[in-house]
Structure formats: structure tokens, C-alpha cells
Structure 1
């Protein structure tokens, strides 16, 4: 169960911090989102918009928040579904308009009254902030609202003159995690760890990828997850060379590696881990060499994480370690070229084609800029990011020695930037070849 009091305090502070950044005469509109049909009359499980949860701590669909900042006051208005006993029997409980004061609102209305009430709510506001990622839907709503307000100008109603992107100021807040959030992220990380350990414990030849996914996600549910943070990737053998493989419908073969990229969501915060381990519990020499190289790159990046480090420096370090290792393994032929020249020529790209990580938070690929003013951001305390180098030696790569075929390795951990260095939130996993083999041997069948 969520600690509603703590969540309400967190959301209240977030609203205040956001409005502090905006000029007087601003209005902020954020939607919770709507339920979506999967097929015929079956809906996808609803998950509230992260920005809305961050600002309201309210997770029902079909709701809109309106914040207003004037010279003498700030107001928080919520539009939401009304109580409906008949629908609640079929679809679940609703908070209802009368109880919305529990969320700290200044006032609340039925969602059906949104278009009717917006003109008066926007009266006196010069600028309306909405997410430009949802600009089309907001424009469809605001156009008739502003037209109506203009028609009432002789009665003294004023209308906004500017539309601005909310994502910039709001996501700037979200990229630096507060202690409340870090607590949730530690929990999400450790729930994710338990799921991956359960998968490693249960893997065996001729098990299907889907069955292993079941073991993995059962580990999430057993330790308190509310949902998966994203669609789980369970990829055996050649499938591990497909970065976003989610079919998970092949049998796991003896002698293959399996790559598992999955994370649990706990109280709206995501974990994101990738483990790679042998289906039979024992790495081949070639698999171990590739795995060790990826682990070396990951550890080199984690060791350099601290406040002040430029975001792109981590990726550069990954490229240096992986490219040098691929040359040493004979996978890349240097032809006498320098390491830097080979990196500049993207010699690594057939084997490593993605970034070294991403921001992590309420969204698995969390919000926040990576560059500001054309320059890479520098790490700050409170940022959380993944570190996930990989190598993908597909059998389709021309000229690749067969001993490397179908070896896909990615190693990913979640890392919090602290005041001095960093903290690996996803600690507790066996990571070296020896640690993995020793750990899996306990559960060999």
C-alpha cells in the first residue's frame, strides 16, 4: 500500500517547486492519461502519466490538473471522474469530486466540466504550459476555450497569449531525485535483483524463454512490485543480438547464453537490470572472453561516475575499452591503425550500436536533457542512470569467426550519483564469470 500522506506531501512540494520556476500569470495543464483498448473490449492495464503522478499523487485515468500562478495566490484545480456506484462495481473504486480535497486541491470538478470551466480558470493568465509531446490534443482542447474567452473580453475576461512547453521546467526537476524518490528506487532496484536471481536459479536447457520470463517476473511480484517497468527481454543465443527482442518464444539451448533485460516497478519508480548467464551454468571460453570484456567496460564506467563528470565521457570510456578488447580478441583487425582512429571510424559499431546508459526514474528511459546549450550535461548528485555496455556477435556479421557466433552480452546496473562518488543500487548480483558459475551451480538440475 502506498503511503498516501507521504505521497501527498511529495506532490505538494513538487507543485510548489514547479510554480517557483514559472512567471506570474502562468497556468499549467497536465493529464493523467486514459485507458486504452488492447483488443475489442479488453483494455491495457492503466498506468498514470508520470508527470501527473509527480504533481498530484493521484493515479486514476481521465483526470486533468490545472495549476495557476497569479501575483497574490497559487491555485490547484483537479478535474476527475465522478463517483458512480454502478460503474465502480464493474471497474473499481473512484475517489470522486467530493473527496478530491484529500489531494490538497483548491477546488475540484467533474472531468465532464473541463471545457466549461477552463476559460475562467485561465482568466488572468498570460502563458499556458503544456507538454509539447501532447501538443495536438491540448490544441484541440484549448482552441475552443480561448475562442470562448475572447468572446467575453468585453466582460473583462482575459485570455492567454502564449503557449509554452512544460517539459523543460518540469523535467529539469525530475532528473534530480529527492530522498523520497531515492528510497523508492533502492526498493525497485532490489526487487529487480531478486527477479533476476530467480531467473538464474531456474534456467535450464529446453526451458522456453517465456517460462524463464515467468520465473523472473514471479520474483518481482513476490518481493512487492506493482508491475514490470517495461516489457521483459529474455533472449537466448542468437536472439540476444536483437536489442529489443520481446517475443520470448524460443527454447533455451544447452551451450547458449541467455540475456535478460528486465526491471520491476515499485511505487511508480523503475528498476532496469540486464544479466547475461549460461543456460547450462558454464561459460564456454569464447563466451567468457566476451563477457569479461563487457564487464571490464562496465566497471571502468562505474568507477568514474561522480559529480562533475561529463555525460559523454562515460560513453567514450566504453568505446575505448570495448574497441581495445575487440582488437585483442581478433574480432576487429586494426591494420596498424591507432585505437582512436578505429573509434573515430566506428569500427566497434557492428558489435556495439547503442549508448552506454540513460536516465532512470519514474520512466525507465527517464526524462531530462543529456545536452544543454549544445554541451553534454555534467553529472550531479541525485541523478540516477543505467550503465549498460554490450557486445552482440551475430552470426549474420560477415567475416566473423564461427567461435564468436550468437554471443550476445549486456551487463546493466542502476547507479545513483552521490555527493562524492556513486552508489550501485542494483548490488547483490553475481557479476564475474566465476561468481555466476558458482552461484548457478547451487541450483543445477
Structure 2
């Protein structure tokens, strides 16, 4: 006779529940589907992103006629044990599907331009299961009891304007004749399925007709898809620009909240973490999340470019450099840096360094327009910085030598570039061709403008009054045929304006 424990073990193995979970009894399985209200039959409102995403798909389809383009959303990433990181869909999937926030793990968008395709654009995903299905109560990835009510095929179609099918139908789509390309880094399992479909097509034993072997593409073809889809994001349409403006507006709210809480952060200790938490609260409340790990670097920490540990104290008389941006629900993100005097007033030495950075930013903005190359933004900024370094007796060579390709000595005090593309990713279009990334600026591009000067406290080549001072000013700008537009212009930049901004917030 088996014991109750033996019976539970057998039931657990049959039901494939985790070791720490009690298996479901037959009585429970019969009881759980009963007594629920019917699902609301009102279709969800269409996403505002539909016109933009449709235009993006049209352009991509035109670039690859007669092919099938596979764009996965990506998978949940394990944080530890059975806990996952919050899901963020792959950027390419967002751009072409129009889905944002945390939609949709394990989904795949297929753009099919082959001659016999009954429909071009199809979203494959796991739709909501009926309450009679074990998935409803037992599946921690898809179950309604675990993650909330999911969309049906019809509801997802109403939201996205796409034809939607069950993810179980994806393999049949991949096996159909015609070349395949996939965004390889989005979902390893989907990439493996694409590669398997290619292998089948190339296998003479599969009975394919003459000329079909090897016709379904290669990893090199996938790389081209990655490049083209990344290039496509350079120029933003009007809807995308408004998303970025909105991200900047909301980020200003987060910056003001941090300023308001500076005295508390000083008092409580570990104030960098306090600043990070305040901004993160507003990012989650006003948008989807932070667009990247916030840098809240006080004192000498400001001279570590990617200081995301954020575990230091705040001291009156020092500066705090805060690099942070809110990612709105569409997943477009701001990227703003402000450097504040913790006590509200810049010291004379801090003013000198800050003013140099401000003037470098102004010089960069002057060439951020159609008719110039992207790389000229950096060149204009570093020349101003080198002129100040020379004036202060720090630069060991002439300004011309320092800014030349053979020089670069200034990089001891400004290691990073001045500008990068911005959009769905904080460093957007990263797979684009180098010549396109640094080449001619085009109307609709959105880029950062972020010069800085970083004088480490241990740098003996720097005058003592400057040691430990790190300043960066960063704004998001839209390239036009005329002067650039400052999307983050609501956040004050000039020294006197910054001090007045802080006083006004503290007086509220």
C-alpha cells in the first residue's frame, strides 16, 4: 500500500509541478473553473503606435521582397531560481509590432513578402487559455492566476491591427518555401528553429525540389536584417518624436523630485541610493521604467563614467551628477544628465568647470543640424574643452595636437563621446553601419549632446582646486533643417538657472 506522501510524489511528477509546490487534487481541478464571470467582450482600444509601426513594417517589407522576416519579442530572463527579471521586449520587435511595456514574452512577428503569402504581417503569441485549462491556474509564465488576464487572439488583433495566430503555428510558417531571416539575438530558441528549417531545406533527404537546397538563408542574411532594421530607426516620425518629448517631460518631474529630496538624502546617508530610488519611483509611476540604470554620482564618484553602484553619501559643498531618463510605455526613453551643487550653490571652482562644459555643449549644438556629420558634434565639443584645459595649464600639448587623431590627450579628462543616437534604446541604432552612424545628420534624427569634464581626486596633473570635480550636462536634441530642437529644454542648464531652479523647488 502506498503512503499519502508517495501518492503526492507521483501526482507531482505527473503534473510536472515545482518541487516546492503541492500537486493539484482532482477535486480542485474540477472546482477551479466554476463560478467566474464571462470575459468582457468589448474589444480593447487600438494602440496609438499602429500607424507608426505599420509604416515601419511597410519599409522593411520593401527592403526584403520575396522573403520571410522573423522578429521575436524575446524570452523571460531568469534572475534567480524561479524568479525572472521584468520583461522588456526586444527593440526590433517593439519597433515593428508597436507593442510596448512588458508585451509579449515568447511572441514572434513574421513579415512574409513571399508571393504565396495569404497575409503579410502575422503576430504569433500564446493567447489566453480557457479557465478549464490547467494553464489557467498552474502556469507561472502564462496562467491568469499568476500573471493576470492575457489577451485572446481577437483582442491582441484589435490592439495591434495585426493578424494574430497561436504560437503553436509558427513552425509551419517557418517550414513554408522561401528565404528566411531572423533577428538572431532576440530569442535563441526561435533562432534554433529557423536554423533547423534551413537545415531541412538544404537536406537532400527531405525530398526538396532541385534548386531549393540552401534557399532559406544564412546567418549572414540575418546580420543584414539586423543592420537594415537598426538603420531604419535613425530618423523618427512625428509620433516617435512626441514619445521622446513626453519621456523628457516626465523625466523633468523625476529630476525635480530628486532636487526636492536632496536635503533628506544628505541627512539619511547613502544618499546616492535615495536619489536613485526617488527617480525610479517616478519612472515606474509616470512611464514603464527607467530607460537605463540611473547614475547618481556624488563628489569624486562623478568621475567614474558609469557609476551605477550609487551607494555613496552626499556632502554639502560637493556636486552630484545625475544621469537618468524615464522610458515611457511605448519604450522610447529620455537620456538627461544634470550636475547639481548639493547645497544649492556652485563654488567658484565648480562654476569654472561647469561653464566650460556648458560652452562645449553649446558649440556642439551649433553643428547639430542637417549639413553636418554626426561626428562633428563631438569634434566641436572637445575643441572647447581642450581650449579650457589649455587655459588652465592642464593640457600637455597644443589644442590642435590634442584634437588630432594622433593626439587625444584630452581623453584623460573626457573619455566618452559627446553624442549617440536615441530612441527605443538609450544607445539606439547600435547595429547600424559605422559610416551611417557617424555620417551625415538627417532631419528626424534624435541624438544626445553630452560633453563632460572629469577631474579625479587623485589626478596630480590637475590644479588642486579642481580635483574631485566631475561635471556632465546632457540633453536630447532633434535634428532639423535649421537649428536643432532641444527636447529636454524644460530642464534648466545654465549655472544661475540651475541654482534658481533648486531654490524654487526647495521653497515650495
TM-score (normalised: structure 1)? 0.90
In structure 1, stretches of 5+ residues that fail to align are: none
Q: CA deviation at 1:13?
A: 2.1
Partner of 1:7: 49
Residues 1:419 and 1:369: Cα distance change in structure 2 (over 3 Å): farther
Q: Is residue 288 of structure 1 aligned with residue 351 of structure 2? A: yes
Q: Is residue 75 of structure 1 aligned with residue 111 of structure 2? A: no
Partner of 2:373: 310
Q: Which moved more, 1:255-264 or 1:50-59?
A: 50-59
SS across alignment from 1:35:
coil
Alignment deviations for residues 325-360 of structure 1 (CA, whole Å, 9 cap, x no partner): 1111223244xxx32013232221111000001000
Partner of 2:183: 131
Q: CA deviation at 1:370?
A: 7.0
SS across alignment from 2:411:
coil
Give the distance between the partners of 2:388 and 2:432, measured in 1 at CA. Answer: 28
Give the distance between the partners of 2:156 and 2:467, measured in 1 at CA. Answer: 59
Partner of 1:202: 261
Partner of 2:217: 162
Contact 1:386 1:413 in 2 (8 A): yes
Cα RMSD after superposing both structures = 2.5
Q: CA deviation at 1:36?
A: 1.2
SS across alignment from 2:120:
strand
Q: CA deviation at 1:135?
A: 9.1
Partner of 1:258: 320
Q: Which moved more, 1:356-365 or 1:394-403?
A: 394-403
Contact 1:323 1:347 in 2 (8 A): no
Contact 1:197 1:429 in 2 (8 A): no
Residues 1:66 and 1:366: Cα distance change in structure 2 (over 3 Å): same
In structure 2, stretches of 5+ residues that fail to align are: 1-43, 130-135, 138-142
SS across alignment from 2:420:
coil
Contact 2:357 2:473 in 1 (8 A): yes
Contact 1:192 1:264 in 2 (8 A): yes
Give the distance between the partners of 2:391 and 2:299, measured in 1 at CA. Answer: 23
Contact 2:287 2:326 in 1 (8 A): yes
1:288-437 matched pairs, under 5 angstroms: 288-334=351-397, 338-344=398-404, 345-367=407-429, 376-437=438-499
Q: CA deviation at 1:14?
A: 1.6
SS across alignment from 2:344:
coil
Q: CA deviation at 1:270?
A: 0.3
Contact 1:370 1:376 in 2 (8 A): no
Residues 1:405 and 1:89: Cα distance change in structure 2 (over 3 Å): same
Select the structure that is richer in strand.
1
Contact 1:281 1:444 in 2 (8 A): no
SS across alignment from 1:6:
coil
Give the distance between the partners of 1:186 and 1:26, measured in 2 at CA. Answer: 36
Give the distance between the partners of 2:261 and 2:494, measured in 1 at CA. Answer: 19
Alignment deviations for residues 6-64 of structure 1 (CA, whole Å, 9 cap, x no partner): 322322222111101213x2110111011112122221111111211221123210111
SS across alignment from 1:17:
helix
